[in-house]
């Protein structure tokens, strides 16, 4: 049943992504008139994940953090193995005040990419927002030991002092 639901969800997502893009919509309309080779190939789950991630990036840059979080969560749904999806999901959640969920997402990103200094620094900032300055300081120190000029970690240490 779960497999069938995933197939339906992928099909609906592909339809949405196709109809949302004017060029793809035009191609889709003319697909019936042309040969089978010109028909739209629906995207694979990894491609959908990357597409949702890119949409999330656009929303994040526009400071539309709710939309960004939704897009990143969708990317994770289609590909749970990409650390960057979890990282940005955690950052977006942190921006909308969902600190515990943000921490969970960032820890998952760190699990997938253990040496990522940006993730360690963001975890430190979430700990600060949760009221755990000693934990935050520990994360910032780890980052600064490896990269003394790391902007987010330096900023975090300044906030503690």
Which sequence spans correspond to the domains of the chain? Answer: 115-161
Task: Give the model confidence (pLDDT) of 90-100 as tens digits.
Answer: 999 999 999 99
Q: So what's the pLDDT on residue 29?
A: 60
Residue 38 has pLDDT above 50, yes or no: no
Query: Would the pTM of this model clear 0.95, i.e. be above it?
Result: no
CA 72 – CA 79 distance, rounded (Å): 10
């Amino acid at each position: 049943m779960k497999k069938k639901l995933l197939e339906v969800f992928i099909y609906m997502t592909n339809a949405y992504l196709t109809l949302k893009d004017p060029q793809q919509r035009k191609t889709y309309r003319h697909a019936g008139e042309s040969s089978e080779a010109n028909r739209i190939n629906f995207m694979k789950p990894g491609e959908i994940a990357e597409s949702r991630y890119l949409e999330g990036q656009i929303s994040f840059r526009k400071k539309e953090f709710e939309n960004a979080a939704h897009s990143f969560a969708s990317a994770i749904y289609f590909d749970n193995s990409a650390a960057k999806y979890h990282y940005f999901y955690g950052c977006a959640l942190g921006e909308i005040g969902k600190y515990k969920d943000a921490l969970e997402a960032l820890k998952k990103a760190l699990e997938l990419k253990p040496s990522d200094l940006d993730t360690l620094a963001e975890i430190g900032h979430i700990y600060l927002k949760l009221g755990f300055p000693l934990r935050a300081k520990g994360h910032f120190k780890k980052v600064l030991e490896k990269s003394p000029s790391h902007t987010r970690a330096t900023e975090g240490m300044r906030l503690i002092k």
